[in-house]
Chains A and B, each alone.
Chain A
Amino acid sequence: MNLKGWRISRLALFGALVALAATAGCERKRNQTGGSSDKAGASADTSKPVLIGHFASMTGSEATFGQSTDNGIRLAVAERNAAIDAGTKKGRKIEVKTLDDAGKPQEAGTAVTRLITEDKVVAILGEVASGLSMAGGPVAQQYNVPMISPSSTNPAVTQIGDMIFRVCFLDEFQGYVMARFAVEELKAKRVAIVFDQGQPYSKGLADFFEKSLKEAGGEVATRQAYDTNNPDVSAQLASVKEAKPDAVFLPGYYTQAANIIAQARKLGITVPFLGGDGWDSDKLEEIGGDAVQGSFFSNHYSPEEDTPLVKNFVATYKAKHGVAPDALAALGYDAANLLFDAIDRAPSLGGKDLAAAIAATKAFPGVTGEITIDGNRDASKSAVIVEIDHGKRPAVKRYAPQ
């Protein structure tokens, strides 16, 4: 009961802060908090490690998202600190604090508030799910603390404000590459869309895919929505089966996607399923089994890629965590390294200086490709289409940025 009461009071505090910012003039509030965090950054002891925060879904139905990203971030931190210890790199050591949001928007807002007000982190990494980044982002913006989302692909995330960045491509691009792939490579003209109405990520991707599909000469066979609280999708799938599509676009997250594909195969839907980067988890095959084989999804990188940077990352990650890194681990690793690069370049660790340093990043060599932060604080980079092939994720097609 104590814990519960405490949580509620935190929530109330957050709500009160939001209300305060909305009514009592944001400008003054912003300057105040920005000023104090600048001072904290400047007066801090430089021999101490720099504390950064990470909020992620470490539990809940998208738990592998948070865990993979955290593994990637921690690998980047360990590598940097080891290099500084060995004297091969100059700069301050990094310490990362991770808070769990259990995949819930209200918890995400609370986690970011705690990281900033209690732990006084200089920057925030997170979240994977766009809906959660959009819950945590406004808090970081309000306190003038830079936040880098490793893998939220919905355009609205960085539109929160000038403190919010990302190191992955956007849903518009992802929808575009998948639509082109469907029409040009799979020769699928009629595509059914099944999306999660409760996730901005899924709905946004469905819209962008539909737009690009029509531009590429395809047509939408049927458009069906589901929500995560109703595991029964047989009604929607019956409509899909009746529409007789050449392929089904299913831009959800892996747990639901695997369940839906398994249910679809049971109902006798045999066409390939197409998805977005939300599919990227070993759990997809663990849950879906044979049903998901031969499906395709757009992703940030393929661990099968043959470049020294990727090979080295895959090898050290495997040695540390025992499994091959998925794209979320790779993006977590890239987001952390990009942040360290900015920390080294920034004149101070105050919110404004650090954000300016992040915004100035050009052609940063990441394992998920070269990252350039553009004027909208988004990353301009390429995407790959990977196939699900019995535990492997071979890249079948690569698309350069538009």
Chain B
Amino acid sequence: MTKFVSICIQTLTLGSLYALIALGYTLVYGILRFINFAHSDVVTFGAWIAFVVAGALGWAGTGSPVFAMPVILALAMGAAALLGFSIERLAYRPLRRAPRLNVLITAIGVSLLLQNAGQLDYLFGTQPQRMPRLLSEAPLFTIADVRVPTVDVVLVLLAAVLVVALQWLVFRTKLGRSMRAVSWNDQTAALMGIPVDRVVSITFMIGSAMAAAGGVLYGLKYRQLNQTADAVWVLLGLKAFVAAVVGGIGNVRGAVGGAFLLAGVEMFAAAYRTPQLRDVYVFGVLIAVLLFLPAGLFGKATVEKV
């Protein structure tokens, strides 16, 4: 029982993390119909920026104030939004009318550029670092003999708030309506007076800010920051991408559902089957979904694509 509850809680935290990152993939795909392979590097940069900011503000020690975490999170999200904006403006916008393959390969190029630039000495360097302890790791409460640390609770709550906010933005605001219009048909949207370039920029900024939030929370939970080209980041981004595909790429609710499904498969398979094969189960789900439900689990359910 203890083990079951513990795995459920871990599924919830890991799923929240995947959801934050998966949303970026799905937003960009929904609007531009291409996979932004540099997205996982924005996650990495978000985490590293938080580390650098924490150091610069003198909050890397143990006695950091309570407001340190929100401030650092906001700064990292802001910086990542700027990064996302620059990537779109400099690398993708010039290729807006080019064949899809060109943009895809450019995205891989941007990803490699970020991975390797991040290792420069005056950026983040090649050494792995420890994320400062900004949130208490002491148990906040205990369910069925399972201790739930503050950091896990904050992670889940924050992810929930961000997902709900995004849902509201996409379906209840004028900006959201423009985003949906661009995703339906960008040329018609432009004829209707929607500033397509600005909407695309804002979409990238939102996706990147969510990615940075995911990166910061990842850092706070696992405390270990590997260098920017490390396979840990690639795998994290890849799993979030799989979550987006499983849920039906381009679909906001699908990305969240896919993220929790994937986290559940991963955690329960690792706990009750062989932990060695956890990634096999994850990618097995992907293959099964692509074979039998190519549009994703939630792909058909909602008509409105973002």
Residues on A lying within 8 angstroms of B by beta carbon are: 59-61, 63, 102, 197, 224-232, 234-236, 238-239, 241-242, 255, 259, 262, 266-268, 286-287
Contact = CB atoms under 8 A, between A and B. Distances in A.
A262 B224 CA distance: 12
B71 to A, nearest CB: 25
Nearest to B231: A229
Contact of B14 (A63, A227, A232): A232
Contact of A61 (B3, B226, B279): B226
B159 to A, nearest CB: 16
Interface string B266-295: 011011001110110000000000000000
A227 B277 CA distance: 10
Contacts of B232: 228-231
Interface string B209-228: 00000000000001110110
B275 A225 contact: yes
Contact of B224 (A197, A241, A259): A259
Contacts of B139: 266
6 contacts: A59-B126, A102-B126, A231-B224, A232-B10, A238-B2, A238-B10
Contact of B235 (A102, A230, A266): A230
Nearest to A194: B275
A367 to B, nearest CB: 28
A238 B6 contact: yes
A61 to B, nearest CB: 5
B137 interface: yes
Given A61-B128, A259-B222, A235 B275 contact: yes
A241 B222 contact: no
Contact of A255 (B2, B224, B268): B224
A259 B223 contact: yes
A255 B128 contact: yes
B132 interface: no
A59 B126 CA distance: 6
Contacts of A242: 2-3
Contacts of B127: 59, 63
Contacts of A255: 128, 224
B128 A239 contact: no
B76 to A, nearest CB: 19
B147 interface: yes
Interface in B198-246: 222-224, 226-227, 230-232, 235
Contacts, number: 80
**Which 6 pairs show the lowest CB-CB distances between chains A and B?**
A235-B270, A235-B271, A59-B126, A231-B222, A234-B10, A238-B6
Residue among A227, A230, A241 with the highest chain B CB neighbour number at 10 A: A230
B131 to A, nearest CB: 11
Contacts of A286: 130
Nearest to A236: B275
Contacts of B224: 231, 255, 259
B231 A238 contact: no
A197 B222 contact: no
A234 B223 contact: no
B158 interface: no
Contacts of B276: 197, 225, 227
A262 B139 CA distance: 13
B176 interface: no
A306 to B, nearest CB: 34
Given A59-B126, A241-B3, 19 more contacts: A60-B126, A60-B128, A60-B227, A61-B226, A63-B128, A225-B274, A229-B232, A230-B235, A231-B232, A235-B267, A235-B278, A241-B6, A242-B2, A242-B3, A259-B224, A266-B137, A266-B149, A267-B6, A286-B130
B7 interface: yes
B225 to A, nearest CB: 10
Nearest to B232: A229
Contacts of A224: 275
A115 to B, nearest CB: 21
Interface string B114-148: 00000000000011101000000101000001110
A287 B149 contact: no
Contacts of B14: 232
Contacts of B146: 267
A63 B125 CA distance: 13
Nearest to B109: A1
A259 B223 CA distance: 8
A218 B270 CA distance: 26
A60 B139 CA distance: 32
A229 B235 contact: yes
Interface in B138-173: 139, 145-147, 149
B16 to A, nearest CB: 13
A238 B235 contact: no
A102 B119 CA distance: 12
Nearest to B130: A287
B288 to A, nearest CB: 21
Contacts of B223: 259, 262, 287
A287 B126 CA distance: 18
Contacts of A61: 128, 226, 230
A239 B270 CA distance: 9
Given A225-B275, A266-B149, A268-B147, A232 B7 contact: no
A236 B147 CA distance: 16
A285 to B, nearest CB: 12
A228 B278 CA distance: 13
A234 B2 contact: no
A103 to B, nearest CB: 10
A227 B127 CA distance: 19
Contact of A239 (B3, B10, B145, B222): B3
A231 B131 CA distance: 14
A98 to B, nearest CB: 15
Interface in B160-190: none
